[in-house]
């Protein structure tokens, strides 16, 4: 069963870990939305559906023909994201009355893990970094990738509607874009005589909605991509999340905070923040992107 990090945190009795998870999901619409499937082993092999079986009408006495769906077998391997956080024992002893330095340093390291995951979720390419995993930009291909034009163009509501319609089997769970694209979308909504819907999410934050779909902003979507002769282009992604769609994969226990202990070569205590994680796209029709979005 897939659980979001927010739900998984409720199952943990580790106060430090709960605080770490709260820290990394606060500013990330991706981690707020994306469910994670816990897997045992170093990866998950699954069949991605390519084409549905054919069906037709028959008369009485007709010879029936067999047709089966086609699949591509995909293996998503867990990758390791993490880092060590050292706290000087002198500072830990003499300044703990001012601030819990260890907790602060761990949260900063966890924030770095969150940022690395979000960057990889968008831009990951195993052809560039074999230690990472493929992100949504690389996974949305073929008919699920449309463009504003040969050299890009300014976003229109009609084109955004076309992008949303590429996701089949229900509405998307998330529209992901850059801050610049969100400003453009707000201007388009105002120009049409309306505003984007807003509501509070489970974390108490105000979230905008377009056509009932939450709009998320990622700092890792570039506004300087090249499309044709234009080098000021961005990309917008839409996706359904969960089992059968776009989902995170994690080892049992998820994100972990491990105390390494005192170091031999310096008077400090080390804590390791690590995450065995990846992502899976179970159905290509659950993810789409719009390229060439210019200001």
Q: Could you tell me if 14 and 123 lie in one domain? A: yes
206 and 163: one domain? Answer: yes
Query: Domain tally for the chain?
Result: 2
pLDDT in tens, the chain (295 residues): 565 655 555 545 555 556 666 666 677 889 889 999 998 888 888 888 777 788 999 999 999 988 888 888 888 999 999 999 888 888 878 876 655 777 788 888 888 898 999 999 999 999 999 999 999 999 999 999 999 999 999 999 999 999 999 999 899 999 999 999 999 999 999 988 777 888 877 767 788 999 999 999 999 999 999 999 999 999 999 999 998 899 999 998 888 888 898 988 899 989 899 999 999 999 999 999 999 999 9
Specify if 188 maps to a domain.
yes
Q: Are residues 118 and 225 in the same domain?
A: no
152 — alpha (psi -120 to 50), left (phi > 0) or beta? left
- Indicate if 36 and 125 belong to the same structural domain: yes
One domain, residues 124 and 17:
yes
In this predicted structure, what is the pLDDT of residue 19? 63
CB 80, CB 41: distance < 8 Å? no
Do 257 and 234 reside in the same domain of the chain?
Answer: no
Alpha helices in the chain (DSSP H): 5-10, 15-26, 29-33, 89-94, 101-123, 136-139, 157-165, 179-191
**Which residues span the domain enclosing 104?**
2-49+75-134+244-281
Last residue of a domain, one of 240, 264, 290: 240
Based on the fold, state whether residues 159 and 220 are members of the same structural domain.
yes
Could you tell me if residue 294 is inside a domain? no
Residue 129 domain flag: yes
């Amino acid at each position: 069963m897939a659980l979001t990090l927010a739900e998984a945190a409720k199952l943990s009795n580790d106060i430090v870990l709960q605080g770490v998870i709260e820290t990394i999901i606060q500013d990330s619409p991706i981690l707020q939305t994306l469910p994670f499937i816990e897997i045992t082993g170093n990866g998950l092999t699954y069949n991605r559906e390519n084409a549905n079986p054919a069906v037709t009408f028959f008369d009485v006495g007709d010879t029936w023909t067999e047709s089966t769906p086609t699949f591509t077998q995909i293996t998503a391997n867990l990758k390791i994201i993490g880092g060590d956080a050292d706290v000087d024992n002198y500072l830990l002893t003499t300044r703990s009355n001012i601030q819990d330095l260890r907790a602060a340093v761990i949260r900063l390291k966890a924030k770095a893990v969150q940022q690395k995951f979000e960057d990889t979720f968008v831009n990951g390419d195993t052809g560039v970094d074999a230690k990472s995993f493929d992100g949504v930009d690389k996974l949305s291909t073929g008919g699920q990738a449309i463009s504003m034009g040969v050299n890009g163009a300014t976003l229109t509501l009609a084109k955004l509607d076309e992008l949303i319609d590429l996701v089949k089997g229900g509405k998307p769970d998330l529209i992901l874009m850059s801050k610049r694209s969100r400003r453009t979308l707000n201007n388009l909504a105002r120009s049409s005589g309306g505003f984007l819907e807003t509501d509070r999410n489970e974390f108490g934050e105000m979230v905008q909605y377009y056509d009932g779909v939450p709009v998320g902003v990622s700092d890792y979507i570039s506004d300087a991509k090249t499309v044709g002769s234009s080098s000021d282009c961005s990309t917008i992604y839409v996706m359904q999340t969960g089992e059968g769609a776009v989902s995170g994969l994690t080892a049992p226990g998820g994100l972990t905070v491990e105390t390494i202990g005192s170091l031999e070569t310096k008077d400090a205590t080390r804590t390791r923040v690590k995450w065995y994680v990846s992502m899976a796209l179970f159905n290509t029709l659950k993810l789409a992107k719009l390229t060439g979005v210019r200001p």
